[in-house]
Amino acid sequence: MKAPLHFGSLCVHDPKGKETTKPHQLPIYATSSFEFESIDQGIRIFEGKEKGHVYSRYGNPTIELVAEKIARLETYGLDIEAEGLMVSSGMSAISTLVLALLKPGDKILTQGNLYGGTTELFLKLFQPLGIELILTDLQQVEGVEKLLKEDANIRMIYFETPANPTLACVDMEALSGLAKKYGQITVADNTFCTPYLQQPMKFGTDFVIHSTTKYLNGHGNSIAGIIIGPKEGMQSKVWKAMKLAGTNCNPFDAWLVNNGLKTLELRMDRHSANAMAIAEFLEKQAAVESVNYCGLPSHADHQLAKKQMNGYGGMLSFELKGGLQSGIDFMNRIQLCTLAPTLGDVDTLILHPASMSHVNIDKELRLKNGITDGLIRLSVGIENVEDLIFDLQQAMEG
Ligand code: PLP
What are 187-225's pLDDT values in tens digits? 999 999 999 999 999 999 999 999 999 999 999 999 999
> φ and ψ at 377, to 5 degrees?
-105, 135
75 touches ligand 1 (CB under 6 Å): no
Determine the average pLDDT of the residues in 63-73.
98
What are 146-161's pLDDT values in tens digits? 999 999 999 999 999 9
Average pLDDT value for the chain:
95
Percent of the chain topping pLDDT 90: 86
Known catalytic residue at 373: no
Determine the average pLDDT of the residues in 246-274.
98
Please enumerate in sequence order all residues whose Cβ is within 8 A of that of 43, keeping only pairs 6 or more positions apart, or say none: none
Q: Ligand 1 centre and the CA of 90: distance in Å?
A: 5
The continuous run of DSSP H or E covering 374 comes out as none
Rounded to whole angstroms, how far apart are CA atoms 267 and 270?
Answer: 5
- Quote the pLDDT of residue 370: 84
> How does 143-154 read in b/e, with b if 16+ C-beta sit within 10 Å?
ebbebbeeeeeb
Q: From the alpha carbon of 212, which atom of ligand 1 is closest?
A: 15
What are 293-311's pLDDT values in tens digits? 999 999 999 999 999 999 9
- Quote the pLDDT of residue 40: 96
For 336, counting Cβ atoms within 10 Å of its Cβ (0-12 exposed, 13-18 middle, 19+ buried), the class is: middle
Determine the average pLDDT of the residues in 355-362.
77
Known catalytic residue at 115: yes
pTM above 0.75, yes or no: yes
- Quote the pLDDT of residue 132: 98
Let me know how many helices (H) and strands (E) the chain has, helices first: 16, 12
Percent of the chain topping pLDDT 70: 100
What are 111-130's pLDDT values in tens digits? 988 998 999 999 999 999 99
Q: Ligand 1 centre and the CA of 136: distance in Å?
A: 21
Q: From the alpha carbon of 164, which atom of ligand 1 is closest?
A: 3
Catalytic-labelled residue, pool 69, 214, 267, 270 = 214
Q: What is the DSSP secondary-structure string of 226-289?
A: EEEEEHHHIIIIIHHHHHHHT-B--HHHHHHHHHHHTTHHHHHHHHHHHHHHHHHHHHT-TTEE
Q: Ligand 1 centre and the CA of 131: distance in Å?
A: 21
91 touches ligand 1 (CB under 6 Å): yes
SS3 128: helix
Q: From the alpha carbon of 214, which atom of ligand 1 is closest?
A: 15
For 80, counting Cβ atoms within 10 Å of its Cβ (0-12 exposed, 13-18 middle, 19+ buried), the class is: middle
Determine the average pLDDT of the residues in 62-85.
98
- Quote the pLDDT of residue 138: 97
Rounded to whole angstroms, how far apart are CA atoms 4 and 17?
Answer: 17
Query: Within its chain, how far is the Cα of 309 from the centroid?
Result: 16
Nearest CA to ligand 1 atom 15: 90
Inform me whether the pLDDT recorded for 333 exceeds 90: yes
Q: From the alpha carbon of 118, which atom of ligand 1 is closest?
A: 10
* pLDDT band with cut points at 50, 70 and 90 for residue 368: confident
211 touches ligand 1 (CB under 6 Å): yes
Catalytic-labelled residue, pool 29, 106, 155, 189 = 189
List, edge to edge, every strand of the sheet that includes 288-292.
288-292, 315-320, 375-379, 349-351, 338-339
Return the best residue to mutate from 119, 214, 253 for the ligand 1 pocket (most ligand atoms within 8 A of CB): 214
Determine the average pLDDT of the residues in 326-339.
94
* pLDDT band with cut points at 50, 70 and 90 for residue 1: low
* pLDDT band with cut points at 50, 70 and 90 for residue 17: confident
Between 242 and 16, residue with greater pLDDT: 242
Rounded to whole angstroms, how far apart are CA atoms 96 and 86?
Answer: 11
- Quote the pLDDT of residue 396: 94
Determine the average pLDDT of the residues in 320-335.
91
122 touches ligand 1 (CB under 6 Å): no
Q: From the alpha carbon of 92, which atom of ligand 1 is closest?
A: 16
- Quote the pLDDT of residue 210: 98
Return the best residue to mutate from 113, 191, 351 for the ligand 1 pocket (most ligand atoms within 8 A of CB): 191
Instruction: Please report, in angstroms and rounded to a whole number, the separation of the first and last CA atoms in the chain.
Output: 82
Q: Ligand 1 centre and the CA of 174: distance in Å?
A: 25
89 touches ligand 1 (CB under 6 Å): yes
Please enumerate in sequence order all residues whose Cβ is within 8 A of that of 265, keeping only pairs 6 or more positions apart, or say none: 196
- Quote the pLDDT of residue 3: 87
Known catalytic residue at 262: no
- Quote the pLDDT of residue 354: 83
- Quote the pLDDT of residue 96: 98
